[in-house]
Amino acid sequence: MATLFVLQDRVLTSPKVQIGTYLHPAEYKGQTFYLSDSLFSVWTTLEFACNPLWASAVLLGMFIAKSEYRIKRRRWDALLDKMEG
């Protein structure tokens, strides 16, 4: 994800007109920017992978939250068992 944020910054600093090695148009934030060959290949790859990465991050966050809840619940139950016994 950090790579995507750095890449987005590089896209925003790319020219808005086709010059030199900046040949590939890319739409971003409602504007057209022209990217070099190497930047365009990385851009298309990460643009394609962005949604699955966000979905994975959300699912991982949900899994971690549920795991923390279960651990706290087990500790609380163990504490209550000691207090009763």
pLDDT tens, 7-65? 888 888 899 999 989 999 998 889 999 999 999 998 888 888 888 988 999 999 999 99
**Residue 47 falls in which region: left (phi positive, over 0), alpha (psi -120 to 50) or beta:** alpha
Report the C-alpha gap between 49 and 9 in whole angstroms: 17
pTM of the predicted protein model: 0.58
Cβ-in-10-Å burial (0-12, 13-18, 19+) of 43 comes to buried
Report the C-alpha gap between 47 and 1 in whole angstroms: 11
pLDDT of residue 8: 85
Domain boundaries, the chain: 2-84
- Please compute, for residue 57, the number of CA atoms within 13 A of its CA located in the half-sphere on the CB side: 8
